[in-house]
Structure 1
Amino acid sequence: MAKIEKELQSVILAMSSKEKDKLLLRLIAKDRVLLERLRFELLEESSTIEERREEIRKAIDHLYQTPVYSSGYLMMDIRSVNALITHHVKITKDKYGEVELTLRLLNDCFEKQLKWIERYSSKTDKLASYVAKRTDFVLNKLTKLHPDIQFEFEEIMNTLLQRVHEFAPSYYARDLQIRKKFEIEYIE
């Protein structure tokens, strides 16, 4: 991000409100994410967060209902749905949804497409690595949430950790030093 020099800053601040508003609207229109975030915060008043989560849940369900031809294709599809989750968080700042949706995405991979991630091989290597890294990511996100929220996800997180250590991602889980059991850390 470019820093505005003091002289230019003073000139901008001295502009009329009408000119500043016009300039601001032009700048906002160029940033799609900012535009969508403003729409979410100002127009939707954050009331559509559950609807947005539901759209991603549907994308996850669709992903695992579609026939998969290789672990590589599965990984590409998982990454594209993960991109939807990342975009959702950029717009809504929904930390709870990020954890919930990521856990669902990863656990469903084991439940519905196990044959592509069950045994480690050169063909499953990239998918195994990706799943281990995303597990580490979601585990770190979860530990930053309030203990009451952590409690909601404790069982599903432990299910994921067990699977990651049992199937193809186990090598990467050890390498990343992903713990085998999630326990809530209460802050006193």
Structure 2
Amino acid sequence: MAKLEKDLQLAILSMPQKDKDKLLLRLVGKDDILVQQLQFTLVEEGTSVEFRRDEVRTAIDKLYRLDAMSSGYLMMDMRYLNSDISRHVKVTKDKYGEVELTLKLLKDCFEKQLKWISKYNSKTDTLTNYVVKRTDFLMKKLVKLHPDIQFDFYSDVNVLLENIYSNGTSFYAVQMGLPKVFEISESE
């Protein structure tokens, strides 16, 4: 982003309000995330967080309804859904939802697409590595939450970690130093 020089800043501030409004609307319209953030905060007044979470949950459920054609396709679909989760967080600042949705994406992978990560081999290498990296990301986000909120995820995270260590993902889990059991900690 280019920094505006002082002269240009003063010239923009001295423009008639009508012209500034037009310019502002044009500029805002060029940034999709900013448009969604403004829609969320100004129009929806922050009340649609659960609705937006449900949309991502539905997309995750839709992914796992069908059997993936390969571990590579599954990973691409998971990455696509992870970008939906990231977009949701950028728009809503929903840290609880980030943990909840990421956990669902990973846990459902073991529950509904286990054949692609049950054994480690050259065909599943990229997917197993991805799942472990996302789990590591999840764990780092989780420990930053209040201990009461961590408790909400306690059993599901431990099921995920048990799956990680009893399938093809265990190689990367050991390598990355993932814990075998999640213990609630004080938030940082």
Normalised TM-score (structure 1): 0.95
Give 1:32 shift. 1.0
The answer for the alignment partner of 1:169 in structure 2 is: 169
Which residue pairs with 2:76 in the alignment? 76
Inter-partner Cα distance in structure 2 for 1:89 and 1:186: 23
Deviates more, 1:97-106 or 1:154-163: 154-163
Amino acid at match of 1:105: L
**2:56, 2:84 within 8 Å by CA — same for their partners in 1?**
yes
Query: Which residue is equivalent to 1:98?
Result: 98
Task: State how far apart, in whole Å, the 1-side matches of 2:45 and 2:106 are.
Answer: 30
Q: How many residues align?
A: 188
State the AA in 2 paired with 1:79. R
Q: 1:126: Cα distance to partner? A: 0.5
Q: Which residue of 1 aligns with 2:136?
A: 136
Deviates more, 1:9-18 or 1:59-68: 9-18
- After superposition, give the CA deviation of every residue in 1:60-98 in whole Å (9 maximum; x if it has no partner): 111111122211111111111111111111111111111
Residues 120 and 168 of structure 2 are in contact (CA less than 8 Å); yes or no, is this contact kept in structure 1? yes
Query: Which residue matches 1:49?
Result: 49
Distance 2:92 2:121 in 1: 38
- What is the one-letter code of the residue matched to 1:162? E
Q: How far, CA to CA, are the matches of 1:143 and 1:155 in structure 2?
A: 15
Deviation at residue 186 of structure 1 after TM alignment: 2.6
**1:168-188 alpha-carbon deviations (Å, 9 max, x no partner):** 111111221111121111369
TM superposition outliers: structure 1 runs of 4+ over 2 Å: none
> Take 2:21 and 2:149, find their aligned partners in 1: how far apart are those partners?
41
Aligned-residue CA RMSD (Å) = 1.4
The unaligned stretches of length 5 or more in structure 2 are none
Q: Using the alignment, how far apart are the partners of 2:78 and 2:186 within structure 1?
A: 33
Distance in 2 separating the partners of 1:63 and 1:7? 52
C-alpha offsets along residues 109-149 of structure 1, whole Å, 9 cap, x if unaligned? 00111111001000110000000000000111111111111
Aligned mates of 2:75, 2:186 — CA distance in 1: 35
What is residue 7 of structure 2 aligned with on the other side? 7
Partner of 1:30: 30
Q: What CA distance in whole angstroms lies between the structure 1 residues aligned with 2:21 and 2:146?
A: 39
**Residues in 1 aligned to 2:186 and 2:122: alpha-carbon distance in whole angstroms:** 41
Q: Which residue does 1:186 correspond to in 2? A: 186
**Structure 2 length as normaliser, TM-score?**
0.95
